[in-house]
Chains A and B, each alone.
Chain A
Amino acid sequence: MVTTQTTSDLALIAHLLRRAGFGATRDELEAYAANGYDATVEGMLHPPAERSYLPDDILRRYHHDFQDIRTNGSAASYWIYRMVTTNAPLEEKVALFWHRVFATAQTKLIQGKPILSQLDMFRKYGMGSFREILIQISKDPAMILWLDNQDNHNGAINENYGREILELFSMGVGNYTEEDIKECSRAFTGWTIANTDYMAMKMRNNTARPYGYIDWHFEYRPDDHDEGEKTFLGKTGNFNGEDVIDIICEQPATAQFIARLLYHSFVADEPPVPQWPLVAPKDPAAIQLLTDSYFESDYNIGAMLKTLFTSDFFKDESAHFARVKSPVELVVGTLRQAGGFDGPTYDVYASAAACGYMGQALLNPPSVEGWQGGDDWINTGTVVERVNFACDLIGDTTKSGVQAIIARLRRDLEGVMPTPELLVDHCVDLVGPMSVPHETRDVLVDFAAEQGDVDLSTGDGEAAVAALLQLIVSTREYQLA
């Protein structure tokens, strides 16, 4: 069935980079492979202390709308830059993971800045203790306004946050009672933002007048906190939010829930979260391994990810190309493959918008449940968007990444007028490495043959390679991670 063979080391590293990052160029893959798989995992979990990405000052000078980073187009574009140019891809991937779990959307929050601050928090804490992550998200202004905790008062609770922290953020339905939700909500009374009334009013009225949006910050109001005794998950005391989080983190259900979330995002698609009480995990042994890691590491997400990336269930070939790339993975991965951004460009807005056209508008998940993903990413409309986006980039021979592929072909095929089969196999390998079925390879070879001899020293030769690359990124296999 499979005709295009790849070296196992590179294939495994490429698999890791697709999941723990946004893919990699061939030069990057070879550098990672030279270090070895385990060292690559360590390097991704512990990136250089000095983060590298297109600097904020350069971006803000060029993109004047980044001065207040208010609109979704501005804020999402800023994140695209970070994901494409970062030297810490797992950090961004983990931020994307938590953005999907702790889904907050600009449709309600209106301004983009607080969600970008939330992403900064994910970068800082996302691979640390889950307890600390829960504390930070409970204090996060975007989350507070998203789930109305500013309306959660002593003596008049609003249950939105108390419910979701249990249902969607930690334990899942079936592991707590309605009374636990009420008690949890009581524990989070007084957790609000400063200047509450005016900030909430501006959000509701959706107005930047008179002086633009004002970013939010957390404020704890002891006078509005319910100091009464609470009984939560079988324990009783004068609990505040941190105490409730301690109890949540101790629960086996929490460990299993987080394990399944990680499996869902980094290994293989699971059914929608609301179905989890009814549908067993695909790989119960994998979930148990991750659950054990959760408790052994004192709830550390980085330790769980290390367990995951070094596990047999992750490395196994059956896990390769087993997930549909999310739109952001496809867009950012293709941008990185094509050479990334040398500097600021207005083209970034189109890249951010493309994610939305494909079904994953950054900073705008469709609901508190985030994006489901999996096969839901694919329909007749989104496939066209995915193919068009990838083709436009990979077909542009001015892109440094495309030129790097062509240069590699020149080197590998020096002195050889490649047959269509040889050219196809090389190109498929350089875009992946990936494997395509016979029937797909036949189509690619027929296309290459129709273009005649390809002389890589000429512009026509480069154009012929670019056209072939466009067809390769249009395949089903390129849509998979």
Chain B
Amino acid sequence: MTTEVTSVMKIADTIGFCADIGGRGFHLPNAIAIRDDGHLYVISRSSQMHPKGTRIGICDVDHEFYGEFSGRGTEPGQIIAPTGIALDSQNRVFVTDEQTNRVTVFDTDGNYLSHWGEQGSEPSQLSGPAGLAFDADDNLYISDQWNNRIQKFTPDGEFISTFGEPGTGSGQFDAPWGVAIDNGHIFVVDWHNDRISKFTLDGDPVMSFGESGTEDHQLNRPSDVAIDAEGRIYVADWGNQRAKVFDANGNFLQSLRGEASVTKWGADYLAANADELNARQTFDPFVEVGTRTPWEESARVEGYFWNPIGIEVDTSGRLYVVEAGRHRFQVYERA
């Protein structure tokens, strides 16, 4: 299940449950953010078919579920296609919406505070805002997906600066997605170029790594990135259905395939549904399925990642990998 060059991380836990019409759990989650006290904010983007599923849930690593906020719509405080989530130094919650081209701000309990942003390609305007992250001064950096640039704002939405342009060269992007900020640098997931690019906060290129492919060291439409205290780079390799670990220079360290176990919320559900619990007695969550096509294999193996799309690391070095297809996240810790 894990191809190891250097064993950096090992599985610690699995948290989640398919709550497609609401309730404790997630539905098609796609991003996660961590509050300074360890509370986890998880976007359930859900789908057009399950409008009640679109919301943000709050839980912690001990499987406590604290509730959820927002919902599908275009009214203030509502979201249609939430894509990225980040907390500022006051623990306010910022959510991008790639459909409405807005950034919506909530207090730490999920109460609506404000929203800003408008569609367009002029500086300050947004076209498919995706990942977002704060620097130490609470400046907000947003991956402006279809404008192929990173835009910098104040938390109130006042435009500061922008960098990047379409292309495959240095300082260029093709549909950027997740971002992470660490130690005065911003890491951008350059989705369609299959690479991770590192810049100064002023937008000067520092380094870039990644090449297209399905090998351990390669990337296939990566979606998100996180950096730990030692500078290791964690990548949600969405197209390869894996989470990858690289050192600070972009050298490959480890590939994670997913090793999910039954979650606490899942166990509670099965305990209340004896027929399903009984049927699971002969169930193999890591069954051999006869295909190595990553997406197909993941669709058929419950324990593997299926669409690992969001990735985050906390101050203790724990790694969280959000799986859109399995409505949960897997937690890894240092090996």
Q: Which residues of the other chain, A, contact B173 by a CB distance below 8 angstroms?
A: none
* A57 vs B306: C-alpha distance when bound (angstroms): 14
| Stretch of A37-45, A87-95, A205-213, A446-454 that contacts chain B | A205-213
Residue B48, interface by CB 8 Å = yes
Q: Scan residues 279-335 of chain B and give those whose CB is less than 8 A from a CB of chain A.
A: 279-280, 282-284, 287, 289-291, 295-296, 299-302, 306-307, 309, 324-328
The answer, among B28, B283, B291, B296, for a CB contact under 8 Å with A65, is B28
Known contacts A67-B325, A210-B270, A194 near B287 by CB under 8 Å: yes
Chain B residues with Cβ under 8 A from A202's Cβ?
276, 279
B325 to A68, Cβ gap below 8 A? yes
Alpha-carbon separation in the docked complex, A208 to B46 (Å): 13
Task: Name the one of B16, B81, B273, B301 contacting A64, with C-beta atoms under 8 angstroms.
Answer: B81
Residue tally, chain A, CB below 8 Å to B: 35
Kindly identify, within residues 160 to 206 of chain B, every residue whose CB is under 8 Å from any CB belonging to chain A.
175, 177, 191-192
Binds B, one of A214-222, A392-400, A426-434: A214-222
Name the B residues within 8 Å of A438 (CB-CB). Answer: none
Residues 1-37 of chain B: 1 if any A CB is under 8 Å from the residue's CB, otherwise 0? Answer: 0000000000000001110100000001010000000
A212–B28 CA distance with the chains assembled, in angstroms: 9
**B17: which of A60, A68, A74, A209 is its contact (CB, 8 Å)?**
A209
Q: B302 → chain A, closest Cβ, in Å? A: 5
Quick one: given A67-B325, A194-B289, A346-B48, are A209 and B18 in contact (CB under 8 Å)? yes
Given A64-B81, A210-B266, A212-B306, A73:B48 Cβ within 8 A:
yes
Smallest CB separation, B222 vs chain A (Å)? 11
Contacts of A201 in B (CB 8 A): 275-276, 279
Report the bound CA distance from A287 to B99 in whole Å: 53
Q: Mark B205-249, 1 if CB is under 8 A from A, else 0.
A: 000000000000000010000000000000000010000000000
Q: Does B153 reach chain A (CB closer than 8 Å)?
A: no
Flag if A211 contacts B266 (CB, 8 Å).
yes
- Does A71 count as interface, using CB distance less than 8 angstroms? yes
> Do A210 and B289 have beta carbons less than 8 Å apart?
no
Return the contact of B49 from the options A65, A196, A200 (Cβ within 8 A): A65
Q: Which of A57-71 contact B (CB under 8 A)?
A: 57, 60-61, 63-65, 67-68, 71
Interface assignment of B116: CB less than 8 Å from any CB of chain A: no
Contact B16 A68 (CB under 8 A): no
Q: Report whether A197 and B283 are in contact in the complex, using a CB–CB cutoff of 8 Å.
A: yes
Residues of A234-286 contacting chain B, CB below 8 A: none
Chain A residue numbers with a CB within 8 Å of B139 are none
A198 touches B48 (CB 8 A): no
Docked Cα-Cα span, A113 to B191, in Å, equals 25
CB of A74 within 8 A of CB of B47, answer yes
Check A210–B282 contact: CB distance below 8 A. Answer: no
Whether the pair A68, B324 counts as a contact (CB closer than 8 A) is yes
A215 and B299 in contact, given A71-B47, A195-B287 (Cβ under 8 angstroms): yes
Q: Given A64-B30, A65-B28, A212-B325, A71 and B276 touching (CB < 8 A)?
A: no
Closest beta carbon of chain B to A202's beta carbon, Å = 7
Q: Does chain B have a CB within 8 A of A349?
A: yes
Q: A67-B324, A211-B328, A212-B325 are in contact. Are A198 and B279 (CB under 8 A)?
A: yes
Number of chain B residues whose Cβ lies closer than 8 Å to a Cβ of chain A: 52
- B124 contacts partner chain A, Cβ-Cβ < 8 Å: no
Q: Which residues of A contact B295 (CB under 8 A)?
A: 56
A113 neighbours in B (Cβ, 8 Å): 299
* Cβ contacts under 8 Å, B16 to chain A: 211
Bound complex: CA A346 to CA B48 (Å): 9
Measured between beta carbons, the chain A residues less than 8 angstroms from B221 are 57, 61
State A65–B299 Cα separation when bound (angstroms).
Answer: 14
Chain A residues near B239: list those with CB within 8 A.
57
Task: Give the distance to chain A from B264, nearest Cβ to Cβ, in Å.
Answer: 10
Contact of A211 among B279, B284, B296, B327 (CB under 8 A): B327
Secondary structure of the A side of the interface? helix
Is B279's CB under 8 angstroms from A197's CB?
Answer: yes
Contacts of B119 in A (CB 8 A): none
Minimum distance in angstroms from A348 CB to a CB of chain B: 10
The winner among B17, B284, B300 for most chain A CB atoms within 10 A is B300
Q: Is the CB of B265 within 8 A of A195?
A: no
Cα of A196 to Cα of B279 in the assembled complex, Å: 9
Asked whether, in the complex, the Cβ of B306 is within 8 Å of the Cβ of A217, the reply is: no
| Cα distance, A215 to B276, chains bound together (Å) | 17
The answer for the CA separation of A195 and B263 in the assembled complex, in Å, is 20
B191:A61 contact, CB within 8 angstroms:
yes
Q: List, in ascending order, chain B residues with CB within 8 A of A196's CB.
A: 282
B152 within 8 A of partner (CB):
no
State whether A210 touches B300 (Cβ < 8 A). no
B49 touches A198 (CB 8 A): no
| Residues in A whose Cβ lies below 8 Å from that of B289 | 194, 217
B47, B221, B239, B273 pick with most chain A CB within 10 angstroms: B47
Cβ of A64: which chain B residues have Cβ within 8 Å of it?
A: 28, 30, 45-47, 81, 324
The smallest beta-carbon distance between A208 and chain B, in angstroms, is 5
**A74 cross-chain contacts in B, Cβ below 8 A:** 47, 49
Chain A residue numbers with a CB within 8 Å of B30 are: 64, 67
> A66: nearest residue on chain B (CB-CB)?
B47
Asked if residues B269 and A209 are in contact (CB atoms below 8 Å), the reply is yes
**A139 nearest CB across to chain B (Å):** 11
Q: Are A210 and B269 in contact (CB under 8 A)?
A: yes
The CA-CA distance from A209 to B275 in the complex, in Å, is: 13
Question: Within A157-203, which residues are at the interface with B (CB < 8 Å)?
Answer: 194-198, 200-202
Within 8 Å CB of B283, what residues of A? Answer: 195, 197-198
The smallest beta-carbon distance between A141 and chain B, in angstroms, is 9
The CA-CA distance from A436 to B328 in the complex, in Å, is 58
How near does chain A come to B63, taking the closest CB pair, in angstroms? 13
* CB–CB A67/B299 < 8 A: no
Query: How far does the alpha carbon of A201 sit from the alpha carbon of B280 in the complex, in Å?
Result: 9
- The distance in angstroms between the C-alpha atoms of A194 and B290, with both chains bound, is 11
Tell me which residues across on chain B come within 8 A of A198, comparing CB atoms: 276, 279-280, 282-283
Are B290 and A67 within 8 A (Cβ)?
A: no
B49 contacts A211, CB within 8 Å? no
In the complex, the answer to whether B287 meets A67 with C-beta atoms within 8 Å is no
11 example contacts (A-B, Cβ-Cβ < 8 A) are as follows A67-B309, A67-B324, A68-B307, A194-B284, A195-B284, A197-B279, A211-B266, A212-B306, A214-B300, A214-B302, A217-B300
New A-B pairs, 20, CB < 8 Å, besides A64-B45, A68-B307: A56-B295, A61-B191, A61-B221, A64-B47, A65-B47, A67-B325, A71-B50, A195-B283, A200-B279, A202-B276, A202-B279, A205-B273, A205-B276, A210-B263, A210-B265, A211-B326, A214-B301, A215-B299, A217-B289, A217-B291
CB-CB nearest 4 A-B residue pairs: A65-B47, A210-B266, A201-B279, A215-B299
